[in-house]
Chain A
Amino acid sequence: MKLDARIPAGPLAEKWTRFKANVRLVSPANKRKYEVIVVGTGLAGASAAASLAELGYQVKSFCFQDSPRRAHSIAAQGGINAAKNYQNDGDSVRRLFQDTIKGGDFRSREANVHRLAEVSVNIIDQCVAQGVPFAREYGGMLANRSFGGAQVSRTFYARGATGQQLLLGAYQALSRQIGLGKVTMMPRHEMLDLVVEEGQAKGIVTRHLVTGELKTHAADAVLLCTGGYGNAYYLSTYARGSNVTATWRAHRRGALFSNPCFTQIHPTCIPVTGEYQSKLTLMSESLRNDGRCWVPKAKGEQRAAVQIPEGERDYFLERMYPSYGNLAPRDIASRAAKRVCDEGRGVGPTGLGVYLDFSEAIGRLGEATVRERYANLFAMYHEITGESAYESPMRIFPAVHYTMGGLWVDYHLMSNIPGLFVLGEANFSDHGANRLGASALMQGLADGYFVLPYTIGDYLSQQKPRGEKTDGPAFQEAMGATQARTKKLLGVNGRKPVSEFHRKLGKTLWDTCGMSRTKKGLEEGLAILGGLREEFWKDVKVPGSGADLNQSLEKAGRVADFLELGELMCRDALEREESCGCHFREEHQTSDGECARKDAEHSYVSAWEFKGEGKSEVRHTEPLSFEELALATRSYK
């Protein structure tokens, strides 16, 4: 299969401008004849649904939560990047582009990333106009801070709740369109299948989570804005409901899945405390502006942190990466934390933790300033651990946080199934093998506000509006398959609750396809997961019926899909015989333990094709060519 990314011709910095100038349009009078389905109401979904409705398209928006405002974008803490250069510190579109490509360890597409950097400035304008209360300086101008992987301050923020404020901005724009009758909003609906009619995406199957009703919906295009799949690991910073089902079901209908092994492990999360744990909580990367990471120099140190003298502390990020220090990118900081813990110098009851210390910042700035910057994060830390980070350092450890992999899309954000568009974290496109902090919010909103509203017109202008009829064979087949699957889940009637399978899947992935990976480990992981999948379909217990609110049934369907995805993640990691960004294969490292990329063999995007039940997936590749930036060894030293 040849993958055509449809990247416009011309110099990199002019591609998007030229694309917009030449893109085919749908006239205002015709837009209302087209139906667009948008699944998911996070930053990408809400911004796309609102923008498309403003343009005049008929939009149907779906989310599994009780309200579109609850999508997990709400939980993003630290900030959003934009190349505004308001700080006069040398930032530019070019520099944001370069930082993002380098941050992703040269495994993303130049053209997509440059476009992202270009539209980043419009996002901030849009959000401010909506009333997003970004942090301000005393003179009334917007404030910035710095994030990992950058040497400029380009991150806009609203205390420690930037995602909440941006999502509420998009939610309000969406609500306005719902109020105007231009968007039909369907909360508490979960997408369970994609309808592909004559090779094009033309609809979805949903389950109403309160009544259990299964229903088909038709449209001229389908947008999946359903987020990432990090909950495959069970323990993560994701919301409990975040799942892969929408994208996985589309994958089984033919959409290619790219780079599934690229998962971001965030360095600063609150460590695991027990078996019962359901969730890991992130402590925003912004804390590394003022917090310093350290462990004791000696193994087996028993003293409390504050009693360990300065000379006996190892500020390991500052030591290993002097030019970026505590603001080294996430993959690098996480691996460094793992390394010092593997050496036996980890802190806390499990030995899986490092200190994040604010005493120097409190001394330099005063407690009041530190409180103003991070009060809600310190309060969260206190609630969970019962400890005060003003008095002693936080204990942190890496945790699964984001997935760079996702459905393959071209420059138009369209998958290989015509009419199926994928936005935000759900696609693979912009972050390569490692996402920089404060870039997820940027990408979600870029896709929804400023990219898709242009590219979708190019597709729809070539389509005849199909109308709302859902009686064709493709719809009936998808409906039948969903009914059968629901019945099958309810009918296993085994002994074990879904959570037991999910935990085991998560532990297997964490151990074999986590921060460091080996051929042997991945093969073992695959063997375990194969057995686990079989056991699931023999022994899972899903009480209740399909005809009302049944949270066990919801979870079972999602975990069944995670089990299949988990195997694909391991296979992708196995076949990528190099180390890059988050993907660290122990066999491929430099003498000082850094990633050894193999550009000649592996400078590509993997794109997996589902070949049918019980058959091996087939890997295709889209070669990456770097025309503007020279492929370089990433260094933050």
Chain B
Amino acid sequence: MKLHLRVWRQQSRQSEGSFVTYEADGLTPNMSFLEMLDVVNDRLTKEGQEPIAFEHDCREGICGSCAMAINGEPHGPNAGATTCQVYLRSFRDGQTLTVEPWRAKAFPVIKDLVADRSAFDRIIQSGGFVSVGTGQAPDANAIPIGKGIAEKAFDAAHCIGCGACVAACRNSSAMLFVAAKVSHLGLLPQGQTERKQRVQKMVAAMDAEGFGNCSNQYACEAVCPKEISVEMIARMNRDYAGAVVDQI
């Protein structure tokens, strides 16, 4: 199997980038997309060229490191999957694939396909937690939590922080990411005490990082590798409005 690649190459944050074409040959459908890049990179190394920089770590869809758009689609063509979970059987022999990093003002490109997503960490640092110190916890079964609530909280908490939602959004909005954490903690009894401050702080941090607004196109939900629902955004908006009204 053979693929034609157009890959975004950019030396550093300051420099300008461009697409460079590579031929990838001798592939098999059972290879993962990232394994195909490994093969290309080994060849480039042998030829004395710098390999394509890209982020990846667990290669099983949970760490959130891998982050690239394939033919314009964040994480490529498969629903509910990260880039590392895309296998070449998803493509046609001889197909041309354009590979590029996330594009968003709040995610500046560092090199090639690597973007800086530290804005997400700063949003969590602003309030995405329950303020409980080590040793302060009551018995784990002291507060019953209905199975339905626990399941819903898990659905939100399953976010891997990859940033595909931002990359897919025409406004580069981080609403799905922020809403997932607001909902995860807001659904659980343990998160109630700080619920109102949390949503306000996290939304303020999100705005300060330069992410755009939500205009209800649902592109984020369509590309989310954990299939997190835009319902979470509605829940966050409701929490936010409630918190603001309470202050009046």
User: Which A residues contact B (CB, under 8 angstroms)?
Assistant: 47, 50-51, 54, 65-70, 72, 74-75, 84, 86, 122, 124-131, 133-142, 158-159, 161, 164-165, 168, 171-173, 175-176, 178-179, 185, 187, 210, 239-241, 273-274, 276-279, 281-282, 379-380, 383-384, 386, 449-450, 453, 495-497, 499-500, 541, 543-544, 548-552
Whether A66 touches B118, Cβ cut-off 8 Å, given contacts A450-B134, A551-B51, is yes
Chain B residues positioned under 8 Å from A134 (CB to CB): 140, 150
Interface stretch, picked from B60-68, B96-104, B216-224, B240-248, is B60-68
User: Do A164 and B158 have beta carbons less than 8 Å apart?
Assistant: yes
User: Which B residues contact A (CB, under 8 angstroms)?
Assistant: 11-12, 28, 30-32, 34-35, 38-39, 41-42, 44-46, 48-51, 53, 55-65, 78, 80-81, 85, 87, 89, 110-111, 114, 116-118, 120-121, 124-141, 143-147, 150-151, 153-154, 157-158, 160-161, 184-185, 188, 190-191
User: Do B128 and A67 have beta carbons less than 8 Å apart?
Assistant: no
User: Do B154 and A158 have beta carbons less than 8 Å apart?
Assistant: yes
Chain B residue at minimal CB-CB distance from A448: B134
User: Do A164 and B153 have beta carbons less than 8 Å apart?
Assistant: no
Minimal beta-carbon separation of B24 from chain A (angstroms): 11
Chain B residue at minimal CB-CB distance from A241: B57
**A140 to B150 Cα, complex, angstroms:** 9
Whether A54 touches B134, Cβ cut-off 8 Å, given contacts A75-B63, A240-B56, A276-B31, is yes
Chain A residues positioned under 8 Å from B157 (CB to CB): 131, 133, 158, 165, 168
**A141 to B142 Cα, complex, angstroms:** 9
Whether A386 touches B147, Cβ cut-off 8 Å, given contacts A131-B185, A240-B59, A497-B46, is no
User: Do A551 and B53 have beta carbons less than 8 Å apart?
Assistant: yes
Chain A residues positioned under 8 Å from B114 (CB to CB): 549
Chain B residue at minimal CB-CB distance from A545: B50
User: Do A126 and B131 have beta carbons less than 8 Å apart?
Assistant: no
User: Do A274 and B30 have beta carbons less than 8 Å apart?
Assistant: yes
Chain B residue at minimal CB-CB distance from A141: B141
User: Do A543 and B63 have beta carbons less than 8 Å apart?
Assistant: no
**A241 to B34 Cα, complex, angstroms:** 14
**A175 to B205 Cα, complex, angstroms:** 14
Known: A66-B116, A131-B153, A133-B157. 10 other contacts (CB 8 A): A65-B57, A69-B64, A70-B58, A129-B138, A161-B158, A171-B124, A179-B126, A282-B60, A380-B61, A500-B42
Taking each of B55, B121, B161, which has the highest tally of chain A beta carbons within 10 Å of its own beta carbon?
Answer: B121
User: Do A176 and B131 have beta carbons less than 8 Å apart?
Assistant: yes
User: Do A141 and B188 have beta carbons less than 8 Å apart?
Assistant: no
Chain A residue at minimal CB-CB distance from B47: A543
User: Do B147 and A70 have beta carbons less than 8 Å apart?
Assistant: no
Q: Can you sample 23 A-B contacts with CB below 8 Å? A: A66-B117, A67-B120, A70-B57, A74-B62, A75-B63, A126-B132, A129-B190, A131-B129, A131-B153, A134-B140, A138-B146, A140-B146, A168-B157, A210-B110, A274-B30, A279-B60, A282-B60, A449-B134, A497-B45, A541-B46, A541-B48, A543-B48, A551-B53
Chain A residues positioned under 8 Å from B143 (CB to CB): 128
Pick the contact of B125 from A50, A178, A552 — CB < 8 Å? Answer: A178
**A378 to B42 Cα, complex, angstroms:** 32
Minimal beta-carbon separation of A502 from chain B (angstroms): 11
User: Do A136 and B150 have beta carbons less than 8 Å apart?
Assistant: yes
Chain B residues positioned under 8 Å from A139 (CB to CB): 144
Taking each of B39, B128, B138, which has the highest tally of chain A beta carbons within 10 Å of its own beta carbon?
Answer: B128
